[in-house]
Amino acid sequence: MKVAVFGAKSYDSKYLSKENEHFGHELVFIEAHLNALTAPLAQGFGAVCVFVNDDIDADCLKALSEVGVGTVALRCAGFNNVDLEAAASLGINVVRVPEYSPHGVAEHAVALLLSLNRQTYRAYNRVRESNFSLEGLLGFNVNTKTVGVIGTGKIGAAFCSIMKGFGCRVIAYDMYPNEACLKQGIEYVDLDTLLKQSDIISLHCPLTPETEHLIDDETISVMKKGVMLINTSRGGLIDTAAVIRQLKSGQIGYLGLDVYEEEGDIFFEDISDKVLEDDVFARLLTFPNVLVTGHQAFFTSDALESIAKTTLQNLSDIDRDNSCANSVSADLIKH
């Protein structure tokens, strides 16, 4: 299949090209993000391949349909950036990579948790300046703490099992309890109980209309004072303005983010020689107890190999008989 790979970085072309030796698709790498304005670049391609910050809304899909594109292949798991109903009405296939490296993402959530607790990012700078003072670096034992996990699918379950290994009490909230978690002794509780009892809360549910701003002033006010909040899922789960208010009051003690609700314009790009225009994001970066990474939880060599393989297989499946086990439809959101 002839595929326009949008938002392509060097690592995308490296891993997709290498894996494509086994598939033989015609891949063209385009640096621009896909949106309604750039969609005409896909003229003459059967498929587009996109990532988390491409904007595949109804206008974009209409423009893709007009230039003959029949498939949108997401090289990621989340699909909140695609208007699935518009895709269905235009007869455009949407396929994704439902699983590539749940352990890698869970491990990054744990990295944020541990770094925030011991402030290794501050210690690193201090030691390089011969400042060996421990003032301000006091942490706590993670062992025996209560960790609340919202969403126990593939990544949430991997995170639960790591935290079990730390000797934590792990409680979880999900409408569909995961058998593997139950077997490990993870306790399922309602959301309110999780918010009230957890010392550390990690978000692993998808972004849907129901989960948008799940973390806002109201839900934060129920949490323990000084709670640690980790989000490696999607930025829109958190109301950033509310989180800033609650960091200022001390209600939130630590915040670890790999995703941000307005990340689309900044993440994955080097804008170090430009002025940061997002004042909310700039304010977040001023807190010593906030650690932000730029959507890198997925970024392991294992994950990139797996993403490339599944994406190319999805395209081959669609090419062969116009169906694919990894198709996404609007019904999936309701699961």
Binding mask 43-82 for ligand NAD (x = CB under 6 A): ----------------------------------xx----
Q: What's the token pair of residue 127?
A: 């030691």
Q: Judged by CB under 6 A, does residue 267 bind ligand NAD?
A: no
Q: What is the largest CA-CA distance in the chain?
A: 65
* HSE-up (13 A, CA, CB side) for residue 5: 23
CB of 45 to ligand NAD, least distance (A): 26
Q: How far apart are CA 117 and CA 226, in angstroms?
A: 12
Q: How far apart are CA 154 and CA 101, in angstroms?
A: 9
Which residues, 168 to 197, sit near ligand NAD by CB under 6 A? 173-176
72 class by beta-carbon count within 10 Å (0-12 exposed, 13-18 middle, 19+ buried): buried
CB of 152 to ligand NAD, least distance (A): 6
Q: Which is nearer to ligand NAD, 62 or 78 (CB)?
A: 78
Q: Can you give 119-135 as a three-state secondary structure string?
A: CHHHHHHHHHCCCCCCC
262 flagged as catalytic: no
Q: Judged by CB under 6 A, does residue 263 bind ligand NAD?
A: no
Task: Pick left, alpha or beta for residue 215 (phi over 0 → left; psi -120 to 50 → alpha; otherwise beta).
Answer: beta
Identified catalytic residue from 25, 33, 96, 234: 234
Q: Which is nearer to ligand NAD, 51 or 254 (CB)?
A: 51
Which residues, 210 to 229, sit near ligand NAD by CB under 6 A? 210-211
295 flagged as catalytic: yes
**Looking at the annotation, which residues are catalytic?**
234, 263, 295
Contact residues for ligand NAD, defined by CB under 6 A = 77-78, 102, 105, 150-156, 173-176, 204-207, 210-211, 232-234, 258-259, 295, 297-298
